Amino acid sequence: MSDARVDRETVRAEEIAAEQRYLNVLYGKLDDLRAETTQRLKDTLRDSGGPPQARTERDISTRMYTDKLTQLSAVEHGMCFGRLDLDGGETFHVGRLGLFDEDNEYEPLLLDWRAPAARPFYLATAAARDDVQRRRHLKTSWRKVLDYEDEILDLDAAEQGSDLGLAGEATLLARLDARRTGEMQDIVSTIQAEQDRIIRAGMNGVLVVQGGPGTGKTAVALHRAAYLLYTFREQLSKRGVLVVGPNPTFLRYIGQVLPSLGETGVLLSTVGSLYPGIVATGTESARTAEIKGRQSMTDVLTAAVRDRQQVPRDGVEVTFDREPLHLRRKDATAARTRARRTRRPHNLARRVFQDEMFRALTLQVADRLGRELLDRRDLDEINTELRAEPAVTAALDELWPEMGPQVLLDELLSSPDRLATATAKPLDDDERDALLRPAGTPWTPADVPLLDELAELLGEDDAQQRADRERQEREELAYAQGVLHIMEQDEEIADEERLRVSDVLDAELLAERFRTSSDLTAAERAAEDRTWTFGHVIVDEAQELSEMAWRVLMRRCPSRSMTLVGDVAQTGAPAGARSWDEVLSPYVQDRWNLAELTVNYRTPTEIMDVAAEVLSDMDTDLEPPQSVRSTGNLPWAQQISREDLVSELPHAVSDELAEVPEGRLAVLMPPDLLAEIGPGLAEALPDAVIGTRSDDLESPAVLLTIDEAKGLEFDAVLLVQPEEVFAASDRGLNDLYVALTRATQRLGIVHSGDLPATLARSFE
């Protein structure tokens, strides 16, 4: 071994040892913070008594210390991942959270990756160093330093990485080549410049992130959520951040990313989970879902509501005070017109309708008794008696019933007559037949936007709840005034403390503290409240959402502070978007910004070449993203007869699993085929499961539809029957494009018929 090589290895060992000593200091600080926070939490929990103010402060402190402990635990692995050496001689380490030396004027020990001072770690280049001499990427395993990679940002130095300008190229490629685990990993240590610019973009307005397969769209979206919560903590902690994904499998896949970044106050949801109390587990045809997703369904639902606002054809007779009383058509028509003109939601306008009808009925009774003999007090008494008469109220309820969204939608979709009346204009007979289903059918994800729309159209007559709430607030204010009076009169309170109480805490503020003390975060409260509006909304796979789903999300974010992430070339849903302008123009016109991700970190060149052929046949001007790596594994295709799929596929799956030991394989196929052969295939392969349970993605092999695989990634993909995927819908090319770009290492195709022409070109 040459002396030069020995010297290099000695220097490297010394550098690793130095980094290990510093890492020990950081973890010692982390342990101290955990111990201190744990003790404070224990002390807080022991204090179970005291006046309401003390209990309120205890609840707030409990939540604060619990959240702090969660954050400190989440950053244990990979807490420190980099170092910046600057021109002035300063050295800063970068990690998942900020740590400071309280004994040395709060000098930073570790920069939070979201802090402005840490940004050069992601943006500095040889051409624009930003005072950075060296950028070091640390490779650690829990609390041990294993290795490092240095980048000397000097124009006179040797070549600095690839022509794509990758920061920490060796570290990045090592991460990309690592086996999948069934859970998405954060990219905080390898964020690239184009990703960083999007992550740190301002919070106001709508930002659209268009990116092809493997460009890190999802990772960017989640890191953006963490960055916004760090930078705009005060605003967002009150309203929360909503992250919307395409399906529950996807949410499970990304579920650990934000906790690993120290953030737990984010609500992860699908559109189908945004209606409290509804679990949308039902299934339906793609055509039915597409019809439900149309904007024209608002007209259908409006008509369905108006259909419940009736007038009697020939009048209705009821008995009051042993005499007949008539609900006349002309009175009901006038009352309905008056109620509709208020433009209030159905259940709120109902009160106007009833007031008008009771007024008309009161005059009927008065005419029978002799109206000229009655004064205003007599009329009021008659009105009150009418409102207490069950027969009268039941008859009026028939004309204008109080309705809930679930009851109304279930009755609408299960009644041919009601559906025909409501859909007379927007839908034809075939479309109405597609919507019809038996009463009590489980809700589907496409039903949720309809329920949300109906909730807006129907409203909730909460007059009694408001009255109860106002009474409770008056009682709380009176109680708070009494508490403050006692505190001010307490002779044991020192003068300076009495001054603080009277100057800083008034009765209204104290009452507000009583009301807001809760163990729920903003995200948890939002999950229980349909009318909650979020501080920021992030939508992944945004191109898949229907027009009705967009109405739901825009109601959740009236400020239009949104990040929309997707790729219109991967739109698979029939009701999905064909362009971003089509999606956004009804809400913000052209007032939205577009950012593009152009580098493919996931899909190797060999696979992307096949996918690019599919993209070229689509009606789009999008260019395929440029892959950063190749694996040498050429995609393959094998033809098997339809009858032999069940017997031959297990061999193909076993062969692919052998090529990715300890990796993850996805077998993707059309839904009908999965239902047909999936159970037999899973039984024949002890390492394979059908992707329906929460831990399925951790299995060596998982059987999924392409829709279920959207947004996920695997070491290897086996695509079965692409010809059926292509022919299944007018967006078959989009589905093929999605399926081909889920793999990080290997791609195989098994088919019975002829390959679609767009694929055949790659396997000639």
Give a three-class secondary structure readout of 224-246. Answer: HHHHHHHHCHHHHHHHCEEEECC
H or E stretch at 151 = strand 144-152
Average pLDDT over residues 296-305: 96
Type of residue found at 528:
E
Domain presence at residue 388? yes
The pLDDT score that the predictor gives to residue 681 is 85
Domain boundary among 458, 484, 508: 458
Is residue 557 pLDDT above 90, yes or no?
yes
Name every residue whose Cβ is closer than 8 Å to that of residue 240 and which is 6 or more positions away in sequence.
265, 266, 267, 521, 522, 523, 525, 526, 532, 534, 535
Q: In this structure, what token pair is assigned to residue 92?
A: 């800063």
Would you state the pLDDT for residue 483? Answer: 56
Please say if the pLDDT value at position 52 is more than 70: no
Inside any domain, residue 7: yes
**In whole angstroms, how far apart are CA 346 and each of 392, 424, 444?**
20, 21, 25
d(CA 492, CA 92): 50
Do residues 612 and 756 share a domain? yes
Q: Are residues 247 and 379 in the same domain?
A: no
Average of per-residue pLDDT values in the chain: 85
Widest Cα–Cα separation across the chain: 122
- Please give the angle made by the CA atoms of 51, 54 and 58, to the nearest 5 degrees: 140
Shared-domain flag, residues 618 and 575:
no
How far apart are alpha carbons 452 and 434 in whole angstroms? 21
Within 10 Å of residue 503's Cβ, how many Cβ atoms?
Answer: 8
- Regarding whether 359 and 450 lie in a shared domain, the answer is yes
Residue 500: how many other CB atoms lie within 10 Å:
12
Higher-confidence residue of 158 and 545: namely 545
Return the structure tokens found at 335.
């009352």
The torsion region of residue 106 among left (phi > 0), alpha (psi -120 to 50) and beta comes to left
Residue 78 in marked binding region: no
Q: Where in the sequence is the domain holding 693, given as residue range(s)? A: 605-761
pLDDT digits (tens, 9 = 90+) for 627-667: 988 999 999 999 999 888 888 999 999 999 999 988 899 99
Question: Does 56 reside within a domain?
Answer: yes
Domain limit, last residue, from 144, 177, 210: 177
Phi first, then psi: what are they for 345, rounded to 5°?
A: -60, 160
Phi-psi region of 233 (alpha: psi -120 to 50; beta: other; left: phi over 0): alpha
CATH number at residue 648: 3.40.50.300
Q: Which of 596, 617, 633 finishes a domain?
A: 596
Was 265 annotated as part of a binding site? Answer: no
Residue 748: partners with Cβ closer than 8 Å, 6 or more residues away? 635, 636, 637, 638, 652, 656, 716, 717, 718, 719
- For residues 544 and 454, state if they share a domain: no
- Give the span between the Cα atoms of 87 and 489, in whole angstroms: 62
HSE-CB of 395 using CA atoms within 13 angstroms: 23
Q: Confirm whether 186 is domain-assigned.
A: no
pLDDT the model gives residue 601: 86
Sheet strand arrangement including 80-86 = 99-101, 107-112, 91-95, 80-86, 132-141, 144-152
Summarised one tens digit per residue, pLDDT across range 716-760 is 999 999 999 999 888 899 999 999 999 999 999 999 999 999 999
Burial of 99 (0-12, 13-18, 19+ CB in 10 A): buried
If asked whether residues 84 and 172 sit together in one domain, one would say: yes
Lowest mean pLDDT among 257-266, 365-374, 378-387, 412-421: 257-266
Same domain for 339 and 307: yes
> Is the Cβ–Cβ distance between 691 and 702 less than 8 Å?
yes
pLDDT average, residue stretch 331-345: 96
Q: Are residues 300 and 230 in the same domain?
A: no
Region 541-564 average pLDDT: 96
Answer positive or negative: Cα dihedral of 340, 344, 348, 351. negative
How far apart CA 481 and CA 437 sit, in angstroms, is: 58
Residue 710, annotated ligand binder? no
Q: How far apart are CA 526 and CA 533, in angstroms?
A: 8
CB 625 within 8 A of CB 599: yes
| Residues 567 and 660 reside in one and the same domain | no
Higher-confidence position of 351 and 183: 351
Q: What is the pLDDT of residues 181-198, one digit of tens each?
A: 666 777 777 788 899 999
Strands (E), 427-552: 536-539
Token pair in block for residue 114 = 């979201």
pLDDT in tens, 256-278: 788 777 677 789 999 999 999 99
Residue 362 lies in a domain: yes
Q: Identify the CA nearest to 614 among candidates 704, 546, 706, 678.
A: 706
Integer angstrom CA distances of residue 252 from 111, 693, 703, 711: 30, 10, 16, 11
Contact in structure between 607 and 634 (CB atoms under 8 Å): no
d(C-alpha 702, C-alpha 689), whole Å: 5
Task: With beta carbons less than 8 A apart as the criterion, state whether 534 and 526 touch.
Answer: yes
pLDDT score of 466? 56
For residue 394, give every residue at least 6 positions away whose Cβ sits within 8 Å of its Cβ, in sequence order, or none.
Answer: none
Q: Annotated binding residue at 29?
A: no
DSSP string across 418-441: HHHHHTTTT--HHHHHHH---TTP
Distance, C-alpha 278 to centroid of its chain: 16
Radius of gyration of the chain from its Cα atoms, rounded to whole angstroms? 32
Question: Does residue 478 sit within a domain?
Answer: no
CA distance from start to end of the chain? 50
Q: Tell me: is residue 216 an annotated ligand-binding position.
A: yes
Are 552 and 296 a contacting pair, CB within 8 Å?
no
Per cent of the chain over pLDDT 70 is: 85
Domain count, the chain: 4
Examine the pLDDT at 520 and tell me if it is beyond 90. no
Phi, psi dihedrals of residue 753, rounded to the nearest 5°: -90, -165
Name the region of 165 (left: φ>0; alpha: ψ -120 to 50; beta: rest): left
Name residue 637's beta-bridge partners. 749
Confidence of residue 372 (pLDDT cuts 50, 70, 90): confident
Main-chain phi, psi angles of 173, to 5 degrees: -65, -35
Q: Is residue 492 situated within a structural domain?
A: no
Q: Which of 118-132, 410-424, 617-631 has maximum average pLDDT?
A: 410-424
Flag whether 502 is in a domain: no
Residues 647 and 715 placed together within one structural domain of the fold:
yes
Tens-digit pLDDT profile for residues 117-166: 999 998 888 878 888 989 999 999 989 999 998 888 865 544 444 444 56
214 among annotated binding-site residues: yes
Q: 162 and 43: one domain?
A: yes
Burial level of 241, CB count in 10 A (0-12/13-18/19+)? Answer: buried
| Ramachandran category for residue 432: left, alpha or beta (phi over 0 → left; psi -120 to 50 → alpha) | alpha
Same domain for 122 and 269, yes or no, is no
**Burial classification of residue 207, based on how many CB atoms lie within 10 Å of its CB (0-12 exposed, 13-18 middle, 19 or more buried):** buried
Local structure of 209: helix, strand or coil: strand
User: Alpha-carbon distance 135 to 151, whole Å?
Assistant: 5
Whole-Å CA distances, 260 to 7, 64, 187, 215, 650? 38, 18, 10, 21, 36
Task: Yes or no: say if 708 and 675 are a contact pair by the CB < 8 Å rule.
Answer: no
> Is 218 labelled a binding residue?
yes
